[in-house]
Structure 1
């Protein structure tokens, strides 16, 4: 494709992504599940199809998506659930790859154990984009969101390492389980070390750059690529380096960056996520001609068996593993303790939570990118065993999980009635707000004691009155929340919502007046932008959904 054709395709893709995002917002369906369907529809139209280039996905697309997800994750929350996260992102990925490999070796003619492990490694890591989009919209409990996030961050490194070992074994290299495990440990440890080093450098640069949000943004955008390239050059896991760097930087960002820098960086990463995620999910559907074109050499029975082994293992092993590792151990511990105290919520995972986690295992573009890295010919000169069949099996798994599970995830969550306690979260936020205002009042008292003139006293007193008024609002809100403790939904305060409405009307009136000044030639556009930015920051402080505040 020439430059003009590429530009036309990119513009068309952005238009399609925007339309699908609009439809998803109106219907409640995840855009990640709708875009592959649109991509398949595009392949039926005349015109060129875009073939997925795995090197581009793994080098240019995966690092920023993982880094952005890591920035939004909680390192402390992942640490609290580290056993579950590691169980899903490492052990379950290993089991999935091994069982699919054994299934291919036993039941699929022409396939080897190494080839089966390769496709198993490709389809093992879930892509949580669709599940998280739905989960946040329907209000899943924070613990489930944390586990889905943590699993999605770490499982790619496990899967890609297993894939490289399987490809080496299929190419005729000497395979040893001990050496493979040792290489995995080296890759993981080295990747984590590289990520920590990159995060340290970013933290050192953050303070001197915090005064210039543009420079802080440039460093933030470059960080995932630096971490990935350093990891790959050091022959360790570049993916894990990106994840570790993102977790550490995200954890220390509140202390090391300015408010303006955080606002701008957050907006930039939201746009990057929107475009990259939309593009890769659109590309998934366009791979249909490529994966179907190579099936001519296989009989229908072989294709059905291979697809059955792959899809069946992916769909059945995850809930079984969650049942064995989360539900049964907790139930046995409860029995040994003779039950919990009355009114005490058990810490163990419930059956409803396990069902939701099971259905959150949607696969995505990483699976396709990984399987497309399989060589056409091994180092011995032979064709890679059943490569076209492996591509097709991976594509089917992605479609079944991404579209099937993605479109049904929200109804299942609603049917189970599993959602976060909004009243409890709102109470916690207001308690934190009150504590922060009380800390500010103490700081003002200390400042007033240090002032030896009367100039700053009126300013301090004005600020103190504003803070006390704010603290009074928070405390009144806390009283309502505590009185409504039996309900999961925060109480609706007519006075609070009326205040929000009045503030929005006032902001709109201010903007209209500024525009009249600009149109009349009394205010230059540069001055308008400065004043509009001030109003925009005030409006950003207003909650989007008042009932959750």
Structure 2
């Protein structure tokens, strides 16, 4: 078999992903919403399509995406908002599955409760990629970002467990509510244990490998697959194992990894995210012909009813649940897991934004594709093609519809983070860290080190005091500002411009010397890397207090 067509397809897909990213950066539209549209357009053209293999998605694509998202999340922030995250990722997923199941059993001809719960479980967990991309671009408050992240990390485990129970009931394997609850608790606890074990092993390897960023990155790339496969081997939640491992590793990375290792790891995972997410969203659109092909056996009324129930529950239940949990008395509010001690209730604007952030993605399509063709009695799985179509419509409506309108909605709500407060916290931390460094130098001066001169300590102390003075000046400007936007400092902006000019001049001189044969390429790469790290520390334009 010739491999050239596959190479051409991959190159074309990479070109499309890069082009869409370029368009998204200039228009503000989320790439996650544009790529499925292009995938649909491609699927309608003559020629072969790539079918979605659920086992490939769940084993090779989902673990690295979840692990990368967990690394980028805050274990402390999720723990602080754990009640609300649990409310969205467990209770809301369960309610969505049950309501869709009941709707199917009552109103869809020939549908069973178990089959309805199966499609409900598939479409219940939001895939927050599109929402988070918009959230970071428009500057949503950190608490809303944490809730979207936490929900997206934890809800897949709940949904896939419910799906497994529903499939067992639909295929004639039997259903027992106590047994289903026991299975859920078992796979959840097992997934947490497996993730914790892999995170512990990763932490043991981090210190001896910290001196070699390449080896550290190889272990980092293998970690999500190790967590997933270990959990699946013991038939517990592989998704939850990956998330737990990522949260723990991300929390301990600042202590266990070297600076060079962290820089390289971040770059590697950003590239992995970019390519995998791009391919996945293109793949979603290409499933349209296969999904539509199986609808010929259903009449229009049945299709419309099934789609209406699925989309309606997904779109309506989420805001209703958020409004209900935020309006309950404080005691019941906490007991239901929809509030967090010490945290304010969500405002109406925050509830609206959080309601519209529930975009579904490839997990829903992969989950519904795992439905078996035949039950244990030898009969076809009830309404399998119809269930797949319903899931596809939900993904399309939420990913494209909500994805394209989320940014305008957030801007219309006027909901954004307090940049002034965030900049103040960062500069307070910078000042505290600099003061700790000065204290360490003072202690070093009092010790007898024959190989450390007092001049070296004085030089470093002078640099640190100058840096501390800059931080205190920024803090004074931030504290005097009444705006939620970080104020622009003309002096700071001018200093940044001067630093960029000097870096550019140094880089041009190095290139001139290389071209003149006065500097070998190996030396150029070493010196250029130094300038690259210095330039990486500068904030993006326009210069605001970082």
State the TM bucket, normalised to the shorter chain. over 0.9
The whole-number CA distance in structure 2 between the counterparts of 1:37 and 1:192 is 37
Equivalent residue for 1:171? Answer: 171
Are 1:517 and 2:513 an aligned pair? yes
Equivalent residue for 2:361? Answer: 364
Are 1:349 and 2:362 an aligned pair? no
The whole-number CA distance in structure 1 between the counterparts of 2:29 and 2:330 is 34
**Which of 436, 454, 474 is the equivalent residue of 1:439?**
436
Structure 2 unpaired stretches of 5+: 334-341
Deviation, 1:548, is 4.4
The whole-number CA distance in structure 2 between the counterparts of 1:528 and 1:283 is 42
Q: Deviations over 1:272-323 (max 9, x none)?
A: 0000000000100000001000000000000000000000000000000111
Equivalent residue for 2:426? Answer: 429
Equivalent residue for 1:532? Answer: 528
Q: Deviations over 1:362-392 (max 9, x none)?
A: 0000000000111111122110000000010
Q: Deviations over 1:492-538 (max 9, x none)?
A: 11110011011001111111111111111111111111110000000
Counterpart mapping for 1:203-352 below 5 A:
203-329=203-329, 347-352=344-349
1:327 touches 1:349 (CA, 8 Å); kept in 2? no
Deviation, 1:454, is 8.1
Q: Deviations over 1:317-353 (max 9, x none)?
A: 00001111124446999xxxxxxxxxxx981111110
Are 1:487 and 2:483 an aligned pair? yes
Secondary structure in structure 2 of the residue aligned to 1:297: coil
Equivalent residue for 2:194? Answer: 194
**Which of 386, 391, 398 is the equivalent residue of 1:389?**
386
The whole-number CA distance in structure 1 between the counterparts of 2:34 and 2:326 is 32
Are 1:505 and 2:501 an aligned pair? yes
The whole-number CA distance in structure 2 between the counterparts of 1:439 and 1:348 is 37
Counterpart mapping for 1:71-150 below 5 A:
71-150=71-150
Deviation, 1:453, is 4.0
Structure 1-normalised TM-score?
A: 0.96
Secondary structure in structure 2 of the residue aligned to 1:67: helix
The whole-number CA distance in structure 1 between the counterparts of 2:397 and 2:162 is 23
2:474 touches 2:545 (CA, 8 Å); kept in 1? no
Q: Deviations over 1:160-190 (max 9, x none)?
A: 1111111111110111011001000000000
Query: CA 1:197–1:331 in 2, change beyond 3 Å: closer, same or farther?
Result: closer
The whole-number CA distance in structure 2 between the counterparts of 1:397 and 1:102 is 18
Equivalent residue for 1:8? Answer: 8
1:327 touches 1:351 (CA, 8 Å); kept in 2? no
CA RMSD of aligned residues (A): 1.5
Query: CA 1:346–1:382 in 2, change beyond 3 Å: closer, same or farther?
Result: closer
Secondary structure in structure 1 of the residue aligned to 2:83: helix
Counterpart mapping for 1:459-498 below 5 A:
459-484=456-481, 486-498=482-494
The whole-number CA distance in structure 1 between the counterparts of 2:120 and 2:492 is 54
Equivalent residue for 2:29? Answer: 29
The whole-number CA distance in structure 1 between the counterparts of 2:161 and 2:398 is 23
Equivalent residue for 1:57? Answer: 57
Equivalent residue for 1:339? Answer: none
Deviation, 1:491, is 1.2
The whole-number CA distance in structure 1 between the counterparts of 2:450 and 2:236 is 61
Query: CA 1:135–1:329 in 2, change beyond 3 Å: closer, same or farther?
Result: farther
